[in-house]
Amino acid sequence: MKLKYWIGFSSIEQIDSRFILQLYNYFGDIEKAYSSTREELSSIDGLSVKKAENFLRERQKLNLDEVYESVVSRGIKFLTFEDENYPHRLREISDPPAVLYYKGDLSKCNLERAVGVVGARRCTVNGKESVKKIIKELAGTDICIVSGLATGIDSTAHLAALDNGIKTVGVIASGFDYVYPSSNEKLYERIINNGGVIFTEYYPTFEPLKFRFPQRNRIVSGISKGVVVVEAAMKSGALITANLTLEQGRELMCIPGSIMNPNTEGIFKLIKDGATIVTSGNDVLSALDWEILPIKQTSIFEQDNLSIDEKKILYTINIEPKTFDEIQAETKLETERLLVLLTKMELNTLIEQTSDNRYKKG
């Protein structure tokens, strides 16, 4: 069984996918590549001598059957580079993963309609709300949202997809023995339990080391037809992903933000360099040239089931969250009446409270 040779290669931390695929392409067979001798390796042009030595040394310590069983016993599925189900866009990048480990139901995720969403970990409320708005407007489509399962914009994108019935794919920077950040454990479970997928190129025991996060980014962009960048400082992982998006020939899209926010410096640079500006779900569809049923934008004044006072409240918080006192000052509603309406609207998910006791649209 040739699968165990792919897993054996992948279990060696001292080498990487580029090295594995260089051998695979040279020998044309993964078993021959794994069984290669020092002399054969030395004849391969451009092969890293250090990695070749590491491979030969570590290979002696491996029991292929045990390494393979260690993956299967954890309930982890995988795709090798030669598997026909390996994502075709990912196969096209310059440095594709040799093995993709995953959990979830890959058959339910339409990777032909994959859109990456990336941004700052330390993001603003406006950045999060922008992501939620765009993704909510894509509800009812077969689009798949791809992101990196980090805090901030990544987690917001995954949650927005789940909340709107959209499939989502997370790409992590470690093996499945680790959940990073640990606060996302329930999010991992929600993605898997709702027909989504979590991918990683790393063998289960590999830790989430710092250098693995930029490597992870190339998979997020590589799977996607286009990537939406939400907030990105000039030196950030999101900007790295944006540059990878361009290198891979994918469509780069940006959600503009406040010029006072340092996290948008990278965004405005990308826009000046030609990235597509995105302010709605339809902008995403248009940029990717996807023919999907148009998304109808409904004004709050077109919602017949709302009272005049409820529409006043929604209009007041349409631009940014407001406190009770600010809403009352603008709507001129009596305290008791306003309290009743806010409670009712919150129960109906029309609005929600922020952590600093402001009200925003739900």
Coil vs helix vs strand at 237: helix
- Same topology for domains 106-288 and 300-361, yes or no? no
CATH architecture of 106-288: 3-Layer(aba) Sandwich (3.40)
Alpha helices in the chain (DSSP H): 3-10, 17-27, 30-34, 38-42, 49-59, 64-72, 88-91, 125-136, 153-163, 185-193, 212-223, 237-247, 265-272, 281-288, 308-316, 324-331, 335-347
What are the residue boundaries of the structural domains of the chain, listed by start?
3-73, 106-288, 300-361
CATH fold label, 300-361: Arc Repressor Mutant, subunit A (1.10.10)
Per-residue model confidence as pLDDT tens for the chain (362 residues): 799 999 999 999 999 999 999 999 999 999 999 999 999 999 999 999 999 999 999 999 999 999 999 999 999 999 999 999 999 999 999 999 999 999 999 999 999 999 999 998 989 888 999 999 999 999 989 999 999 999 999 999 999 999 999 999 999 999 999 999 999 999 999 999 999 999 999 999 999 999 999 999 999 999 999 999 999 888 888 888 999 999 999 999 999 988 888 888 899 999 999 999 999 999 999 999 987 654 455 555 455 578 888 888 988 888 788 999 999 998 989 999 999 999 998 888 888 888 888 998 87
CA distance 320 to 36: 62
pTM over 0.85: no
Q: List pLDDT tens digits, range 177-201.
A: 999 999 999 999 999 999 999 999 9
Q: List pLDDT tens digits, range 59-89.
A: 999 999 999 999 999 999 999 999 999 999 9
